[in-house]
Structures are given as C-alpha cells and as structure tokens.
Amino acid sequence: MPIQNMPQGIQAAIQQGFLARDFEEALRSTVGFRAIADKEEVAINVGETVTKTRNGLKAPAMAPMMPSANTNLDNGLNPSAYTIEQYALALNQYGDTIDLNIVTSQVGIGNQFLLNTTINGIQARQTLDRLARNALYSAYLGGNTRVRVSLTSAGPNIAVDDVRGFLTVLNNGQFLPVSPTNTAQVVVGANVYTLIGVTPDQSSVSSVLPGTTGISGQSGLLTFATNVATTDATAGNLVAHANGPVVVRPNGKWGGGASPNATTASLVASDTLTLGAIEDAVAQLRANTGMLQDPFFLYLDTFSMRQLFSDPDFKLMYQGQYGSEEVRTGKLFQLFGVNFVPTNEAPVQPASSAVPVRVRRPILCAPGVLIEGDFAGMREKAYEVAGSNSEVQMLDGIMQVVRAPLDRLQQIVAQSWFWIGGFVAPTDATATSVIIPSAGAQYLKRAVVIEHVG
C-alpha cells in the first residue's frame, strides 16, 4: 500500500513492520475473557442484529422395533425431528483515535508514533476484553435475584432486584418476550408461580454491580398470573427462573438449578472461596454439558486466588509440597481439569445496605461459552482504501488506521482503531435430560458463576 503521503520519519516504522508489531504485541499482552470466545465472521448486508440457530439432537430410540410392523416402504418407522433454538448476535462499532503533531513532536517522532500505536493497542484489547466479559456475566447472572420490597397483601406484582434473565422465554426454538401467552415458571420464596410480564424500572436501583458499565443489574417489576403470597413476597426472599443458570456459593448457598436455596444477600464473612465450591461448579458443568475430558477455564482475581490458597482442602492437597511450582510462585495453573486464569477484570461488587459484604465473582467456563462475531466488512475496508491517504491493517481482528496529514499545515497524523462486531453467550436449551440424562433445565449451561465474600 503506498505510503508516500506519510511523513518521512513515520514511513520507516511502517515499512519495517514496527507499526504492526507494536499494535499486535499490545493486543496480546495479557490473556483475558476474549480468549475463551469462538470467533465467527458475520457476512455483509445481514443487518445490525444477526439471528443464529443451534440445532439440538434427537432422543435415543430405546423401544425395540416390532417385527410385525416391519412392513411396507416405511418399515414401521415414523419420522422424528430434532429441536432448534435461536439467539441474537448484535453488531456494533467501537473505536478511538489519537493525533500526532509531527512538528511539535518532531523530537523523537518515531518513538512517539510507536508509543501511540502501543497505547491504541492496549485500549483496543481492554475494550474487547470487557465487551466479552460483560456479555458473559450479563447472561450468567440473569434469572437469579430476590424480592426487593415486601408485599403488605397478596398481589400479582413484586419488585425484584434484577430482571435480567426473566425477560424472555423459549417457545418453539425462539426466545420471545414474556407475556400471558409466553409464560415462564419462577420460584418466589417457597413456591412456584407463572410469570406473565416483566417491567424494568426506568431508573435502576439494583444492587448488582452498581455503576459497572455494561454489566450492572436492572431492577424492575415481575407480574404473575396469580397473587403471590406475602410469605413468599417478603424482601430478601429468593426469586429464581426455572430455566436460570446455576450460581454456586460456599457452604451450600445455591442459586439457580434444580434446588435454589439462597441469594447473594445471604453471603456472610465466612463465605470465602473454597476448593469445594470450585469442585461443585466443575460437577455442574460436567453434568450439564457432557464434557468429561474437555478442560475448563476459571477466571478469577488475585484476591480470590489468595483465599483459595488458604482453604484447608487446598492446603491438605499441597501439604509438604514446598518445592511445587504452585507454592513457590503463588500461582495455580491447573487443577481438577480446570485452567486457572488470573485477571484484573473480574467484577467486584462493593458492600452496600442491600448486600453488606463485598462480593467477588469468579466464573468457570466450558468451551463454546461465548461467541465473537467479527463483521466481514472490516476486511473489505482494508482493500477499499488501497492507494488513498491511509495505511490500514487488520491485527487480531481489529482494524488499525493511520491517516496522513490532511490539515492545512500538513502536520497532524491521525492514528485510530476500530472494530465492528459483538459477543453473545449462546444458549443450550435443547440439551435437556432426554439428550444428557444429568443435564438440568437451564437455558445457559456452559458457565457457572461462583459468588463469594472478599
């Protein structure tokens, strides 16, 4: 690609590949949530939201064929069909830019140019990593909440702390908004009620990660087909979608799954991360996915790791192993088929009046838990600008654009990046107990959030 319009000091950096190297190294400087995503290219001209379809399987044919029916052209067989489910992948554009004045920065222009490239790369990496994180947690924190305001008398409407995970229901392979014709079963307190409507609050007062952009909870109102008893609709009581994902907490305080019995607000100071909680999460994933050999990935921060090293079960496992890599470095790499991935991006919920302890949320992920959709038009863009005043490169799926000076004084070089795509946590609602006998009714089965105090 011609670069003759670029300043002389910058041309060398581009020609020798320093530009691509600096940008690429920054993108790959750490391993984060994006690493678990399966990448798919989204075709041009398909709209801003893409509907993806995932097929299920057919139930095993356990009944023997009757010899007397083995006649005619069909041999006594009736065709059966497999189920499907659909989920949406939304595409958006993200990007940023930085300007370099080649006159005021002419002292060490090459270094400044490469520094700007590196900083852009770090920003791009963090942006996509957080988008991946947000898609993952927003999906797997849904469907598990609690009553926010007690009912003084039985009624059909209850205020809850987070309506995520209650908004849609699977119907004939499609996720449709909850309504009187598309209902969902929800546990409130000690009983099951039929959900017929959800109304998010205009101004959310949810206690789930308040102020954390893209991942904080959304308070709202749930409407049921019958009145909810006041004993069930008491502030703090459990509210769990029958198809909500599992949430594991220490000391048997479960959320979601077949037998939810507690909420985040039930956590106390002694509910720290334990090896037992991680083993529970692993058992849930293996039971729900059928993945008995595949490695899982546990994303956790350094404070969660610190608690794990203090767990009695963990100490017993490594007792006397002062020469082990784990003990010497203070890092755990793999255990029970789980790869431990330290990250500073794991969301931390500060203590509040609703939840008086600080909550950390490691998340255990199975392969296929997240899909990254990259817009195919980005690649076309790289060819469209050939011969123009810009140098365009695609690195790790992200477009880097360096524009030659266009201002009146021919002084300002623009260094930018952009990415068009999206992340989605696909559902596995068709993997029922008919297909995998140990599977639960959860729509989302490929990750488990572990909540603990920290």
Q: In whole angstroms, what is the distance from residue 351 CA to residue 174 CA? A: 38
- 177 in any annotated domain: yes
**Would the pLDDT of 5 be above 70?**
no
Q: Is residue 149 part of a domain?
A: yes
Q: Say how many domains are in the chain.
A: 1
Confidence grade of residue 22 (pLDDT, cut at 50, 70, 90)? low
* In the block, residue with structure tokens 């899982």: 296
Q: Note every long-range contact of 327-331, with CB atoms under 8 Å and residues 24 or more positions apart, other chains counting.
A: 330/305, 331/305
- Answer for the pair 307, 247: CB distance below 8 angstroms, yes or no: no
Domain that includes residue 169, residue range: 143-243
Q: In degrees rounded to 5, what are phi and psi of residue 194?
A: -95, 115
Residue 28 has pLDDT above 50, yes or no: no
Which of 34-48, 149-163, 336-350 reaches the highest mean pLDDT? 149-163
Q: Is residue 133 part of a domain?
A: no
Would you say residue 211 lies in a domain?
yes
Does 305 reside within a domain?
no
For the segment 66-109, what is each residue's pLDDT rounded down to a tens digit? 787 777 777 777 777 777 777 788 889 999 999 988 876 554 54
Give the model confidence (pLDDT) of 260-272 as tens digits: 999 999 999 999 9
Beta strands in 120-163 (DSSP E): 144-146, 155-160
Q: What is the C-alpha separation between 452 and 426, in angstroms, rounded? A: 26
> Which pLDDT does position 384 carry in this prediction?
58
Tell me what pLDDT residue 319 has.
67
- Give me the residue label for tokens 């990660």: 209
Structure tokens at 149: 């305001």
Give a yes or no: residue 432 inside a domain: no
Cα–Cα distance list, 4 to 1, 274, 339, 399, 409 (Å): 9, 60, 48, 21, 17
C-alpha distance across the termini of the chain, in Å? 53
Cβ pair 22, 28 in contact under 8 A: no
Burial 12-40 (b: 16+ CB within 10 A, else e): ebbeeebbbebbbebbeebebbbebbeee
CB 354 within 8 A of CB 263: no
Any idea how long the chain is?
Answer: 454
Q: What is the mean predicted confidence (pLDDT) over 332-347? A: 86
User: Rounded to two decimals, what is the model's pTM?
Assistant: 0.86
- List CB contacts of 68: < 8 A, sequence separation 6 or more: none
